[in-house]
Homo-oligomer: A and B are copies of this chain.
């Protein structure tokens, strides 16, 4: 599909807008209290504000917009997904996990504050996600709020993100094949990306049986996203990425790139993106942003 006319700027504009909207929302959600909890909330703000590409909130708001959901509701819900993502990065960066010093071009939270504060700030962002989803002014229908909670909790726990992280942690002792790596990544990153898309559709009152093509879209871009990450880890620019790269090789981990080779991995990512876009065939131009986002996922340099 050719991007023509007004759609050429669609993605850059949407990326800039979601970054600003998510930052504004987190700023409102995280007022610094006047007691000794201030340190905790400042740590949460450090990690959550001015934080990343906001791919998950963008997936959610782009999907929600297709179904006429108000921008404010979608952004708030996107912040719940992003709060889960941010907490997982804080905990993953801890010395006992990946021991990373740099994230989004600034010191990781435990470097800027301390380890105990990082553990607690992660835990508090985790709780914040569910506080956001249970606010009655988010969506008036409690059934919708319940579906949002179920989708996010399922995607982030042992059957999703945390389970995938566990599989990843023991990866150096395992001889994972392509099937196992695919499963690992579907849990570790795919589940939350998929939840973002699904939660946009839930806000739009799309019933479960009408979300199949969106789930398929999310599954394909989730895998493409991870292949792109593996390629970036091998070939990317650390200054642009704002974090340490070349870690997979150092740790002797199997990745899509080690298992398939860089060229085949690149082809596979491109094919997944086309396949993802194919799933959006029932939609017209209202899905252009999701289409552009799918391409962005493999073309990004960070």
C-beta contact mask, A167-181 vs B, less than 8 Å → 1, else 0? 101100010000010
CA distance A130 to B131 in the complex (A): 11
Instruction: Provide the residues of chain B in CB contact with A2, threshold 8 Å.
Output: none
C-beta contact mask, A143-168 vs B, less than 8 Å → 1, else 0? 10110011011101110101101110
Name the interface residues of A85-139: CB closer than 8 Å to any CB of B: 87-88, 91, 94, 96-97, 114-117, 119-120, 122-124, 126-128, 130-131, 133-136
Instruction: Provide the residues of chain B in CB contact with A135, threshold 8 Å.
Output: 150
Contact (Cβ within 8 A) A116 B97: yes
Complex interface: stretch among A16-24, A35-43, A68-76: A35-43
Copies held by the complex: 2
Contact (Cβ within 8 A) A124 B157: yes
Instruction: Provide the residues of chain B in CB contact with A58, threshold 8 Å.
Output: none
Q: Which of B126, B157, B174 contacts A131 (CB 8 A)?
A: B157
Interface size on A, as a range, is 35 or more
Tell yes or no: A44 within 8 A of B by CB: yes
CA distance A170 to B170 in the complex (A): 35
A167 to chain B, nearest CB (A): 5
Closest 9 CB pairs of A and B: A127-B157, A96-B115, A134-B150, A130-B153, A40-B166, A142-B146, A142-B143, A142-B142, A134-B149
| Beyond A30-B158, A120-B169, 6 additional pairs, beta carbon < 8 A | A35-B180, A87-B123, A96-B114, A123-B157, A133-B149, A146-B149
| 9 A-B interface contacts by CB (under 8 A) | A33-B163, A40-B158, A123-B123, A124-B158, A126-B127, A127-B153, A130-B149, A134-B153, A145-B146
